[in-house]
Structure 1
């Protein structure tokens, strides 16, 4: 598959199934938002330290965390199954598959740790240069970070993104209860050739552009409108949801093409 074919099939899958996307994500994410809003007051508690009142995370958050994980992965599993198995959701409550959620979480944590091990040496090598490039006084005064900071960030993330693309087939595999291990994923994605490299570079560039655009727009919104911070937060949330939907769809598209249809 070429990069264009992968992106085309991914976008086509999202647009073709937008109604199913609403059915799958609406209730779980609605419950998640409601849960966070209802228990927001329990998020922090005030503690007296050296005569000063300091807000610290409440232990209640640790009890809420498993529920948040389940509510996030619940629709993710359903979306994978729709794109890979054509398993449509009837009504507005997707099927909850605890076994798939647990395996998906296990693979996700394992993949995250593996990519972190790759990123840490690069961060140690380029991190000091990133810090030296920052005018801390200018940042405190609200000025934008220098361009080289974002370039270093993109360079650091590039190898992790590439490896993430090569290993990502284990996640839709867990969602559809297939047997694809991490070495199998590497073998299947070898068929992509340079498309994997192109996708990694494209992902890093898009991420770089979005970060710069958001940071550049923040002061303008704050000055133009008193509710600018709320607009920024809503924009960040919407961007995260859409980018997450695209990434999940991309993994499903790759799984169908490389594993189900044998590339």
Structure 2
């Protein structure tokens, strides 16, 4: 089953390279936590307490923008480094991944294109679906669920442009669709497997909370990190298999 092979390959990618994953993601993540904490502290300290009530929106907007920029930069830095490690065997040196400014900006550019394409499709489709739901909730449900999965699968097919940008081999939307032709069934199974894994890990954390709250927090954090890395590895796997023709057996 192609979907299972893709899913298993993405998991194996993490398991086999967990040391490299730690070298790529650990230090930038810790830097992000420290920088974000300092930023919030400075924001709170820079605004007099008397003015906080009068300007809560300004402080909130500035804090959000600062958090967004720092998080986006650190996250993309790590993701690009991971794609390049897997696809180009670019080994991390020490505990800091290589910083490829041009590839990071290219990655942001492709994210913007994907977001814009999704916006142009989702907004009008959502408006039509809303009208259908108002006329007939049952019909809206019957149309909405398949439409949701169709849009999700289409997005996954297009998402191979992201690892392509990271390794410096740009792929257009049309090339992405052409490369992932006949992948619908495999991608759907992979999505269901990923959803099942998330449900399983969240249920395990919730069950462990009844026994030990601290252990539940640790498990929840660990599984969140693993699932996040798995999502990135799935993108890498899709690009490697469908675009570059690499084996997943």
Instruction: Give the 3 Å change call, closer, same or farther, for CA 174–17 of structure 1 in structure 2.
Output: same
Higher relative contact order (CA 8 A, sep 6+): 2
Q: Deviations over 1:23-52 (max 9, x none)?
A: 000111110011112222356662238xxx
Please, which moves more after superposition, 54-63 or 164-173? 54-63
- SS of corresponding position for 1:190: coil
Query: Does 2:90 match 1:87?
Result: yes
1:113 is matched with 116
Tell me if structure 1 keeps the 8 A contact 2:4–2:190.
no
Task: Kindly indicate which of the two structures has a greater share of residues assigned to strand.
Answer: 1
Query: Does 2:39 match 1:39?
Result: yes
Tell me if structure 2 keeps the 8 A contact 1:80–1:175.
yes
1:196 is matched with 187
2:154 is matched with 163
Query: Does 2:86 match 1:73?
Result: no
1:259 is matched with 243
Tell me if structure 2 keeps the 8 A contact 1:191–1:258.
no
Instruction: Give the 3 Å change call, closer, same or farther, for CA 122–205 of structure 1 in structure 2.
Output: farther
Tell me if structure 2 keeps the 8 A contact 1:170–1:182.
yes
Q: Deviations over 1:145-171 (max 9, x none)?
A: xxxxxx999767423321121101100
2:176 is matched with 185
Q: Tell me by how many angstroms 1:239 deviates.
A: 4.2
Q: Tell me by how many angstroms 1:70 deviates.
A: 1.0
1:249 is matched with 233
Residues 103-142 of structure 1 correspond to what in structure 2 (within 5 A)? 103-121=106-124, 123-124=126-127, 125=129
2 CA distance for matches of 1:96 and 1:128? Answer: 48
2:9 is matched with 9
Tell me if structure 2 keeps the 8 A contact 1:158–1:200.
no
Tell me if structure 2 keeps the 8 A contact 1:165–1:200.
no
Instruction: Give the 3 Å change call, closer, same or farther, for CA 27–54 of structure 1 in structure 2.
Output: closer
- SS of corresponding position for 1:93: coil
State the TM-score, normalizing by the size of structure 2.
0.75
Number of residue pairs matched by the alignment: 234
**RMSD of aligned Cα (Å):** 3.9
Instruction: Give the 3 Å change call, closer, same or farther, for CA 194–73 of structure 1 in structure 2.
Output: same
Q: Deviations over 1:35-79 (max 9, x none)?
A: 112222356662238xxx889505254245323211111111010
State the TM-score, normalizing by the size of structure 1.
0.72
Instruction: Give the 3 Å change call, closer, same or farther, for CA 109–15 of structure 1 in structure 2.
Output: same
- SS of corresponding position for 1:258: helix
2 CA distance for matches of 1:166 and 1:152? Answer: 21
Tell me if structure 2 keeps the 8 A contact 1:83–1:253.
no
Please, which moves more after superposition, 27-36 or 57-66? 57-66
